[in-house]
């Protein structure tokens, strides 16, 4: 049978395979709240501008409210033959209120309708992601505060480099996540314009009030160009791009958690709640949640790639290719929400193994830079010379199998005669971290101040 929406021009219905490739209802049913809200705003505007009667407007509004209740309650029967959420809702409206349902689509197209619904959905998604990230920051801040004095090796090239505090290391992620929140906020501000009323692509000859529907839906203003309004999906791309960067941050942190749990580190214990055992090796406690956060970043980045590739060759305006825009966004959102919550949970539960971290700082000559700095400050050596002297001292210590702090004074003086006993005062890791108190440095007092500042900023 020909289609109820456009059957006028068609003698026959679609092939079964056409129906399957064409239908998006299994994906875009997630837009139902937004679709119904946008339709109610549109109907109210059509009444206010005299385009439809108040009577029809009322019937439409009550019908849509009923449908919202039906879908909320899981009682709605979605049909693939009706393609997408927009036509499923409209067809049900016709069942409920009769021919007046046909007036809802005046001065509107599915092209501006879907762009509107999707913007509203992404806006909600951003608000949820932001709330989750605030939670994660709070967890990191609490842990950073508790570990402000905990020394650990800081790494470059995954080689022990200089002592840092664990709190300072965790605060690095608070900063990254702060910028992630900023990126999502920027995306939200840019997407918050209404496509509704752009109609199919050219606008409409009906005397609609696009500002009214924009306001009703919480948009800042109507989009200025009808062609742009139905053509672009840059808001979805921005969401995926911000999400991909966030996913990379979460993945790097997850990778560090995995490392920190591993043999040779044992810097942290993850709780039973966020680890799993092995079905064969009774001793195992595996950091699966962290590994999954690391792995799931691939899905989010993949989603960004998917949509970039869908969009890149499309002539303006709408092309059905664009129906492929929602699945990567929905999946990225679900994945991020899960990853954020799992990361916050791991942080809340983790126990820092302060002894192991402290012990690791005793290997690798981590205070070599402090020694070189002493030669500069006390003896007035140029830093390059100090670097060379220190390198020689490290080689001597290595030969003797001792740390720099345990290299005897006469061995030091054999390399640089002006070295005095005072040099040992800078060779402890505690002294090393507490000396790095210039703004942004790892000193415990800085960590405490940064926690306080971050709590105020992100509260």
Preceding omega of 306 cis (within 30 degrees of 0): no
Beta strands in 139-191 (DSSP E): 151-156, 159-165
318 binds ligand ARG (CB under 6 A): yes
Residue 157 annotated as catalytic = yes
35 binds ligand ARG (CB under 6 A): no
Label the pairing between strands 159-165 and 151-156.
antiparallel
Among 34-42, 268-276, 296-304, 314-322, the segment contacting ligand ARG (CB under 6 A): 314-322
Residue 249 annotated as catalytic = no
Label the pairing between strands 193-194 and 221-222.
parallel
Measured CA to CA, the distance from residue 121 to residue 43 in angstroms comes to 20
User: 87 or 258: whose CB is closer to ligand ARG?
Assistant: 87
323 binds ligand ARG (CB under 6 A): yes
Among 282-290, 316-324, 353-361, 376-384, the segment contacting ligand ARG (CB under 6 A): 316-324
Q: How far is the CB of 279 from ligand ARG (least distance, A)?
A: 43
Q: How far is the CB of 323 from ligand ARG (least distance, A)?
A: 4
Gap between the terminal Cα atoms of the chain: 58
296: nearest Cα among 259, 262, 254: 254
Residue 69: count other Cβ atoms within 10 Å of its Cβ: 11
Enumerate residues 8-27 that contact ligand ARG by CB under 6 A.
24
Q: How far is the CB of 172 from ligand ARG (least distance, A)?
A: 40
Q: Which of 322, 352, 427, 454 binds ligand ARG (CB under 6 A)?
A: 322
Q: How far is the CB of 325 from ligand ARG (least distance, A)?
A: 7
290: nearest Cα among 264, 259, 266: 259
Among 12-20, 295-303, 317-325, 428-436, the segment contacting ligand ARG (CB under 6 A): 317-325
Show the binding pattern over residues 171-210: x = contacts ligand ARG (CB under 6 A), - = does not.
Answer: ----------------------------------------
Q: How far is the CB of 118 from ligand ARG (least distance, A)?
A: 8
Distances (CA, A) of 188 to 77, 214, 312: 33, 15, 22
Per annotation, catalytic residue among 278, 279, 434, 435: 278
Measured CA to CA, the distance from residue 390 to residue 412 in angstroms comes to 9
238 near 227, Cβ under 8 Å? no
39 binds ligand ARG (CB under 6 A): no
311 binds ligand ARG (CB under 6 A): no
437: helix, coil or strand?
A: coil
For the chain, the C-alpha Rg in angstroms (whole number) is 31
178: nearest Cα among 235, 261, 245: 245
User: 232 or 256: whose CB is closer to ligand ARG?
Assistant: 232
Q: How far is the CB of 102 from ligand ARG (least distance, A)?
A: 18
Per annotation, catalytic residue among 105, 109, 157, 194: 157
143: nearest Cα among 268, 292, 259, 264: 268
User: 320 or 418: whose CB is closer to ligand ARG?
Assistant: 320
Measured CA to CA, the distance from residue 277 to residue 265 in angstroms comes to 19
Q: Based on the number of CB atoms within 10 Å of its own CB, is 379 exposed (0-12), middle (13-18) or buried (19 or more)?
A: middle
Q: How far is the CB of 87 from ligand ARG (least distance, A)?
A: 8
User: 20 or 62: whose CB is closer to ligand ARG?
Assistant: 20
Show the binding pattern over residues 83-122: x = contacts ligand ARG (CB under 6 A), - = does not.
Answer: -x-------------------------xx--x--------
Measured CA to CA, the distance from residue 195 to residue 148 in angstroms comes to 49
User: 91 or 160: whose CB is closer to ligand ARG?
Assistant: 91
| # of chain residues touching ligand ARG (CB under 6 A) | 10
Among 177-185, 315-323, 388-396, 430-438, the segment contacting ligand ARG (CB under 6 A): 315-323
User: 237 or 246: whose CB is closer to ligand ARG?
Assistant: 237
Q: How is residue 418 written in tokens?
A: 């002006």
- Which position has the token pair 């192991």? 356
Q: How far is the CB of 70 from ligand ARG (least distance, A)?
A: 20
Q: How is residue 456 written in tokens?
A: 């105020």
For the annotated catalytic residues, the residue numbers are: 157, 278
Binding site for ligand ARG (CB under 6 A): 24, 28, 84, 110-111, 114, 318, 320, 322-323
């Amino acid at each position: 049978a020909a289609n109820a929406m456009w059957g006028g021009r068609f003698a026959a219905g679609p092939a079964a395979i056409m129906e399957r490739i064409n239908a998006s209802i299994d994906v875009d049913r997630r837009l139902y709240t937004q679709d119904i809200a946008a339709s109610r705003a549109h109907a109210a505007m059509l009444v206010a501008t005299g385009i439809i009667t108040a009577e029809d407007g009322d019937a439409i509004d009550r019908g849509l409210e009923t449908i919202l209740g039906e879908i909320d309650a899981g009682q709605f029967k979605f049909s693939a033959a009706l393609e997408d959420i927009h036509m499923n809702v409209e067809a049900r409206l016709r069942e409920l209120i009769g021919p007046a349902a046909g007036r809802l689509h005046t001065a509107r197209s599915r092209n501006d309708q879907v762009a509107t619904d999707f913007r509203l959905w992404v806006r909600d998604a951003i608000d949820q992601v932001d709330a989750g990230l605030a939670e994660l920051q709070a967890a990191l801040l609490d842990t950073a505060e508790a570990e402000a004095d905990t020394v650990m090796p800081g790494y470059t090239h995954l080689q022990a480099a200089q002592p840092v505090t664990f709190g300072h290391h965790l605060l690095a992620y608070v900063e990254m996540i702060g910028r992630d929140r900023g990126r999502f906020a920027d995306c939200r501000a840019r997407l918050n314009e209404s496509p509704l009323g752009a109609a199919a692509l050219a606008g409409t000859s009906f005397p609609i009030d696009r500002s009214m529907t924009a306001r009703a839906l919480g948009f800042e203003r109507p989009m200025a160009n009808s062609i742009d309004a139905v053509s672009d999906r840059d808001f979805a791309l921005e969401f995926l791009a911000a999400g991909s960067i966030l996913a990379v941050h979460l993945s790097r942190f997850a990778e560090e958690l995995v490392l920190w749990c591993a043999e040779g580190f044992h810097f942290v214990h993850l709780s039973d709640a966020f680890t799993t055992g092995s079905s064969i090796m009774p001793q195992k406690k595996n950091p699966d949640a962290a590994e999954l956060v690391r792995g799931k970043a691939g899905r989010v980045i993949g989603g960004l790639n998917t949509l970039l590739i869908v969009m890149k060759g499309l002539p303006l305006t709408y092309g059905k290719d664009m129906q492929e825009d929602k699945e990567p966004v929905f999946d990225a959102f679900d994945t991020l929400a899960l990853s954020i919550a799992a990361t916050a949970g791991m942080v809340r539960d983790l126990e820092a193994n302060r002894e192991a971290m402290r012990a690791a700082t005793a290997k690798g000559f981590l205070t070599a830079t402090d020694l070189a700095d002493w030669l500069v400050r006390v003896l007035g050596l140029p830093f390059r010379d100090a670097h060379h002297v220190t390198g020689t001292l490290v080689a001597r210590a290595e030969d003797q199998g001792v740390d720099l702090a345990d290299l005897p004074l006469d061995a030091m003086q054999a390399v640089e005669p002006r070295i005095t006993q005072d040099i040992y005062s800078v060779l402890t890791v505690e002294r090393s971290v507490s000396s790095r108190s210039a703004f942004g440095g790892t000193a415990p007092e800085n960590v405490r101040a940064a926690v306080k500042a971050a709590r105020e900023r992100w509260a």
